[in-house]
């Protein structure tokens, strides 16, 4: 009996994607073995953090890297670093930012639940633009002596959003660091270096999604002085005090796991992986197209900053003819053992079957379960 069976926890077949609430991704055995090895010894954490940072810098082209406890922690530490620099008196006072540069500019169309990580550092968000877009002059006019940084989230292309290239130009013109949240912007692998090469000062990625490291790991990389400041704001206490990042502690096992996963990720055959995903999506589309009262096709729903993106099988339900709502279908899929998780397009009778986290053969289980539910 496995540990999940012993605990009475159902396993999930993940046709939704690399989702935090499903555990991120499945780590390779090589990563797990490295983490097990790391667990058997003590180390000086400063040495491990420094060496891991060198690996991240090499992979990303940044001056320095830092392993964090998830991309959300990287965002909070990036904000803190831009406000405090390496000033210990400021670091020890966060989240009290009295007397500091504490404003971080964000476009209104980029407001999202994750910007709470910026506010957790004590930073004050300054919105620019409106629900229809942002003009460059609006961002420039918002910059003053209290501006610590500009935050830019890499999302789906949105009409009116000031593009990253222009944001970076404005940041350089006014000597204001630009923080780029690229947490889920893999694939393609080229994005690991893209945003740094564009001129972003700090960039962050999730370690628990496509990189397939521990779910609670992340990467912060960029300009050396600010990454060093982020490290000083983090959980370590060899300076004799704790920073705002103390609750964001990351273990030696997580650090080792992420670095092994990162090296493995950049060296693998990405074209072969894309072909595997495409074959799964095609299979699911072909099989489900035999079912009445649904429309099925393979799509690439997101292009934007991703010149290559994961193909997905889109299933559109004729709810009236089926006598079954999309919500009911999803509920039925979740009730099984193993449960099956899919992605629902908000407000539409449409689900996406994402092959990114499917293990070989699971695409067949997904198809058969959907057929079974819809045939009722």
**Percentage above 70 pLDDT, the chain:** 96
pLDDT above 70 for 156: no
Q: Does the residue 34 lie in any domain?
A: no
Among 232, 267, 302, where does a domain finish? 267
Structure tokens at 309: 């993106």
Express each pLDDT in 264-316 by its tens digit: 999 999 999 999 999 999 999 999 999 999 999 999 875 444 444 899 999 99
Gap between the Cα atoms of 4 and 26, Å rounded:
15
Average pLDDT taken over every residue of the chain: 94
Among 213, 243, 267, where does a domain finish? 267
- The verdict on 117 and 249 lying in the same domain is yes
DSSP string, 185-219: --SSTTHHHHHHHHT-SEEEEESSSTT---TT-EE
**Percentage above 90 pLDDT, the chain:** 91
- The verdict on 112 and 143 lying in the same domain is yes
- The verdict on 183 and 323 lying in the same domain is no
- The verdict on 210 and 104 lying in the same domain is yes
Q: Does the residue 30 lie in any domain?
A: no
- The verdict on 134 and 64 lying in the same domain is yes
Q: Does the residue 359 lie in any domain?
A: yes
Distance of CA 369 to the CA centre of its chain: 29
- The verdict on 65 and 203 lying in the same domain is yes
- The verdict on 289 and 250 lying in the same domain is no
Q: How high is the pLDDT of residue 157?
A: 67
Q: Does the residue 29 lie in any domain?
A: no
Taking the alpha carbons at both ends of the chain, their separation in whole angstroms is 33
Gap between the Cα atoms of 104 and 128, Å rounded:
11
Kindly state the average pLDDT of the residues 97-124. Answer: 96
Q: Does the residue 27 lie in any domain?
A: no
The number of distinct structural domains making up the chain is 2
Structure tokens at 97: 């930012």
CA angle 225, 231, 236 (to 5 degrees): 150
Express each pLDDT in 170-221 by its tens digit: 999 999 999 999 999 999 999 999 999 999 999 999 999 999 999 999 999 9
Q: Does the residue 187 lie in any domain?
A: yes
The CATH code of the domain that includes 337 is 3.90.1150.180
Range of the domain at 126: 42-267
- The verdict on 169 and 301 lying in the same domain is no
355 neighbors 363 (Cβ within 8 angstroms): yes
Q: Does the residue 220 lie in any domain?
A: yes
Q: Does the residue 31 lie in any domain?
A: no
- The verdict on 281 and 252 lying in the same domain is no
φ, ψ at 64 (rounded to 5°): -160, 155
Kindly state the average pLDDT of the residues 107-111. Answer: 95
- The verdict on 205 and 108 lying in the same domain is yes
pTM recorded for the entire structure? 0.93
**3-class secondary structure, 341:** strand
Q: What contacts 255, CB < 8 A, 6 or more positions away?
A: 38, 48, 49, 52, 67, 217
The CATH code of the domain that includes 87 is 3.40.640.10
Q: How high is the pLDDT of residue 214?
A: 97
Among 240, 267, 294, where does a domain finish? 267
- The verdict on 258 and 273 lying in the same domain is no
Express each pLDDT in 304-361 by its tens digit: 444 448 999 999 999 999 999 999 999 999 998 999 999 999 999 999 999 999 999 9
**Which comes out higher in pLDDT, residue 159 or 225?**
225
Q: How high is the pLDDT of residue 307?
A: 41
- The verdict on 178 and 244 lying in the same domain is yes
């Amino acid at each position: 009996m496995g540990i999940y069976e012993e605990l009475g926890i159902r396993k999930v077949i993940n046709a939704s994607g690399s989702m935090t609430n499903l555990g991120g991704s499945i780590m390779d055995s090589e990563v797990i073995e490295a983490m097990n090895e790391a667990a058997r010894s003590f180390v000086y954490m400063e040495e491990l953090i420094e060496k891991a940072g060198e690996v991240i810098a090499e992979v990303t082209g940044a001056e320095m890297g830092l392993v964090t406890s998830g991309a959300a922690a990287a965002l909070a530490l990036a904000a803190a670093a831009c406000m405090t620099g390496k000033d210990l008196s400021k670091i020890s006072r966060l989240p009290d930012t009295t007397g500091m540069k504490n404003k971080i500019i964000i476009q209104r169309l980029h407001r999202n639940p994750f910007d709470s990580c910026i506010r957790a550092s004590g930073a004050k968000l300054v919105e620019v633009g409106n629900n229809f877009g942002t003009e460059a002059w609006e961002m420039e006019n918002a910059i003053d002596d209290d501006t610590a940084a500009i935050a830019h989230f890499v999302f789906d292309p949105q009409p009116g959003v000031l593009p990253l290239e222009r944001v970076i130009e404005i940041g350089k013109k006014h000597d204001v660091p630009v923080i780029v949240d690229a947490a889920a912007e893999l694939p393609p692998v080229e994005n690991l270096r893209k945003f740094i090469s564009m001129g972003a000062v700090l960039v962050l990625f999730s370690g628990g999604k496509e990189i397939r490291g521990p779910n609670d790991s992340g990467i912060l990389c960029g300009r050396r002085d600010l990454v060093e400041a982020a490290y000083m704001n983090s959980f370590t206490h060899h300076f004799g005090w704790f920073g705002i990042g103390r609750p964001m502690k990351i273990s030696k096992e997580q650090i080792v796991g992420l670095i092994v996963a990162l090296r493995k990720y950049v060296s693998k055959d990405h074209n072969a992986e894309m072909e595997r995903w495409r074959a799964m999506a095609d299979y699911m589309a072909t099989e489900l197209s035999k079912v009445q009262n649904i429309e099925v096709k393979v799509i690439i729903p997101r292009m934007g900053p991703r010149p290559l993106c994961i193909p997905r099988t889109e299933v559109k339900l004729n709810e009236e003819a089926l006598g079954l709502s999309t919500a009911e279908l999803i509920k039925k899929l979740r009730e099984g053992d193993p449960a099956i998780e899919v992605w629902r397009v908000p407000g539409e009778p449409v689900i996406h079957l994402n092959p990114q986290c499917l293990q070989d053969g699971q695409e067949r289980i997904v198809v058969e379960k959907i057929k079974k539910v819809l045939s009722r």
